[in-house]
Structure 1
Amino acid sequence: MICKTTKEFQNTVLDKMTFSEYPMENCTIYKNEDRPELGYFIKYSREGYYDFGIGDYTIPYDFSISFDHKEELVRFGTVYTGETKFKIENNPVSSFSPSSFFISEKGLKGTQSWKNGQHLHGAEVTIYKKYFDEIINPNFPNAIGFDSFITNYTYNYLPLDIASIIQSLRSLSQNDMLTPIYLESKILECIALISKEIQSSPENAFTNQLNYGTIKIGKDRYVNLTASDVKALQKAYEILTMEALNPPTIKSLSKMVFLNEQKLKAGFSAKYHMSISQYTTSIRMAMAENLLSTTDLSIDEISKMVGYNYSGNFVKMFKKIHGKTPLAFRRMKG
């Protein structure tokens, strides 16, 4: 079987997942009540115009689905967990890993595969050409068109404002507070933000998604850094600089800058020549050096001021960095 539309493809996936349909007031929930551990998929829709989907589910068995879509649409969203492989005709095998993404589809043909036990978690907006033809273009003729992007090319980055909107929609859905009118207002806002980004300069978040170097992840995996990745790493650097005394976890920082954890850690080390923990430690130690040199505060007081709950841990780290204890350092400076 070859799926001829996006809706047919989605329904086939849900069928393979063994999910049943449960209509709600503002959305439809898909799940298997006999196997709640498989998770769920939630779909909000203005039929034929746009969809917003939230998935958090585990694949029950290996399967693949072929597709041959003639539709024109744009899809963008965030993948929080999981990876799925797909083969687009006349292109190499690709995959989605945790990141944000944007794609303008037209005449898409290929196969997508899932593996037993994979956990997938993400949120995605799909806007069909009909929405642009009937709603956007007649009322806002200067907004983006489908020719603004490379067709069937996955941009691995969304401007942070749009990624934040998707995250907020997801949060509202979890609290059963997402209404159709609010969803449409946010979809319009996303279109406006994408238009603004495209029209701001030839050098924008989409055209700048070029190769900004290659980083190594794990033993033998190499990935390219895009301009957006570099911006996300810079944002992470700024957050860590401001919050060095109480730094966010890697997982939290990853969500704050919308960059997957592996790329965040490897990219930070490649760009700043030290790990994230080494960077925050260097700031703490610099503050400690200043306090030891300019105040009479006790070692215990200084350790707490630079973010250590136990002075023993502070002394151990200080000695590792400086080769001497904080007291020895103070005496030397005195």
Structure 2
Amino acid sequence: MNSRSTKEFKELVLKNMTFTAFNEGNYTIYRNENNPELGFLIEYSREGYYTFGIGDYTIAKDFAISFNHKEEIMRFGTVYSGVTEFEIENNPVSSFTPSSFFVVEKALKGRQVWKKGQHFHGAEITIHKKYFDEVIKPNFPNSINFDNFIYNYTYSYLTLEIATIIQNLRNLSEANELTSLYLESKILECIALLSKEVFSSPENTFTNQLNHGEIKIGKDRYIKLTASDANAIQKAYEILTKEAFNPPTISALSKMVFLNEQKLKAGFSAKYHMSISEYTTSIKMATAENLLSTTELSIEEISTILGYNYSGNFIKMFKKVHGKTPLAFRKKSK
């Protein structure tokens, strides 16, 4: 089974769950009247803009759905029980366990699997990009937007305030007291709280994964750089500046800043327009210039200070950078 939109995906899931839609005024409940023990799915929605869903159901049979969705949507909520198994293209995550979550999806492609007897219980809010484009941006231009986040990255986190809002909406639904107006007011409040979380602090769970652009790795491969990645690269720069005469290896530096070697090397080059080795060499050569011009230290002594095991290697690098040997440079600077 294949789906090309989130709407088609939902229809295929409900069909396999043997659920039928029943309109109850301001919400729709999906269930199997002949097998009520399978549970239910309730949805409140403003078509094309947002949906609030509450699910408490058991899977009736094994099935899987492949998906290739072009829409841009924001989803967040809480899964109280049930383990979701999936494969998403270019994403190492393969399952989702009970927890709060937040994700902005775009061009999502993959496959999801359900097993007979699995029980799922949770509640989530889905907001379409159309709502941000037509309602949020024109009226609240300084609020968050989809581009603030890395697409298809699931944060296992929600602020306590948002988690509480979702729980309260669920309670009102159970009491049959949730109105469309109240729901939309709470969706707006959630967006406001997300904006506050993102912009109020340079260090929080969201900002550590905000989109900091793309870097090129290989001929045609690009990966996104997060704020935590950018911080790691900055930390690497500071370490290299301090330890330029005896710099750690790429492998050691990678472990020191908790960033994989490939992303560290590519990110450093993209940010500072030189490789890691070129940066440490530039510091050594600048220091060499100073020592040659202001001291009477021998070439061997300067070479040792700069961390070269053999003075010949220092002389070779200096000539490559300056076009003359250290002695020739010293004579000219006197």
TM bucket, shorter chain: 0.5 to 0.7
What residue number does 2:276 align with? none
Q: What do residues 258-288 of structure 1 show as CA deviations (whole Å, max 9, x unaligned)?
A: xxxxxxxxxxxxxxxxxxxxxxxxxxxxxxx
Contact 2:86 2:94 in 1 (8 A): yes
Letter in 2 for 1:189: E
User: What is the aligned partner in structure 1 of residue 115 from structure 2?
Assistant: 115
Residue 50 of structure 1 and its aligned partner are, at CA, apart by 0.3
CA distance in 2, matches of 1:3, 1:17: 16
Alignment-derived partner of residue 231 in structure 2: none
Kept in 2, the 8 Å contact 1:104–1:153? The answer is yes
Residue 8 of structure 1 deviates from its aligned partner by 1.0
Is 1:139 aligned with 2:139? yes
Deviations 1:117-156 (A, max 9, x none): 0000000100000000000000000000111111100000
Residues 199 and 172 of structure 1, relative CA distance in 2, 3 Å threshold: same
When normalised by structure 1's length, the TM-score is: 0.62
Tell me which residue corresponds to 2:22.
22
Structural mapping, 1:79-158, within 5 Å? 79-158=79-158
Alignment gaps of 5+ in structure 2: 211-334
Q: Is the 8 A contact 1:52 1:124 kept in 2?
A: yes
Q: How many residues are aligned here?
A: 211
How much has 1:208 moved relative to structure 2? 4.3
Q: CA RMSD in A?
A: 1.5
Q: Supply the distance in 1 between the matched residues of 2:202 and 2:146 (Cα, whole angstroms).
A: 16
What is the CA distance between 1:93 and its match in structure 2? 4.7
**How many angstroms apart in 2 are the aligned matches of 1:102 and 1:93?**
14
Task: Check if 1:184 corresponds to 2:184.
Answer: yes
Paired with 2:207 and 2:143, the residues of 1 have a C-alpha distance of 17
Q: Which residue of 2 aligns with 1:174?
A: 174
Cα distance in 1 for partners of 2:101, 2:7 equals 20
Instruction: Give a deviation string over 1:139-198, Cα, whole Å, max 9, x none.
Output: 000000111111100000001100110010011001101000000000000000000110
CA–CA distance in structure 2, aligned partners of residues 158 and 208 of structure 1: 14
Counterpart of 1:186, as a letter, is K
Q: How does 1:172-251 map to 2 (within 5 A)?
A: 172-208=172-208
Contact 2:149 2:209 in 1 (8 A): no
- The change in CA–CA distance for 1:144 and 1:209 in structure 2 (over 3 A counts) is closer
1:164 maps onto 2:164 in alignment: yes
Identity %: 69
- Give the gaps of 5 or more residues in structure 1: 211-334
Rounded Cα–Cα distance in structure 2 between residues aligned with 1:45 and 1:3: 21
Q: Assess if the C-alpha contact under 8 Å between 2:105 and 2:151 holds in 1.
A: yes
Distance 2:163 2:87 in 1: 26
- The answer as to whether partners of 1:85 and 1:93 remain within 8 angstroms in 2 is no
- Residue 73 (1) aligns with residue 73 (2): yes
Q: Matched residues in 1 for 2:24 and 2:119: separation?
A: 25
Judge conservation of contact 2:38–2:58 (CA < 8 Å) in 1. yes
Partner-residue secondary structure (3-state), 1:122 = strand
Displacement of 1:205 in angstroms is: 2.9
2:85–2:113 CA contact under 8 A, matched in 1? yes
CA distance in 2, matches of 1:92, 1:85: 12
Residue in structure 1 matched with residue 250 of structure 2 by the alignment: none
Contact 1:73 1:126 in 2 (8 A): yes
Conserved in 2, the CA contact under 8 Å of 1:159 and 1:205?
no
Distance in 2 of aligned mates of 1:30 and 1:19: 5
- What's the CA shift for 1:91? 2.1
Alignment match, 1:292 = none
Question: Can you list the C-alpha shifts for 1:74-127, whole angstroms capped at 9, x where unaligned?
Answer: 000000011110100122352111100000001000001111100000001000
The separation in 2 between residues aligned to 1:179 and 1:111, in whole angstroms, is 35
Offset of residue 15 of structure 1 = 0.8
1:35 maps to which residue?
35
The whole-number CA distance in structure 1 between the counterparts of 2:190 and 2:93 is 29
Q: CA deviation at 1:2?
A: 1.8
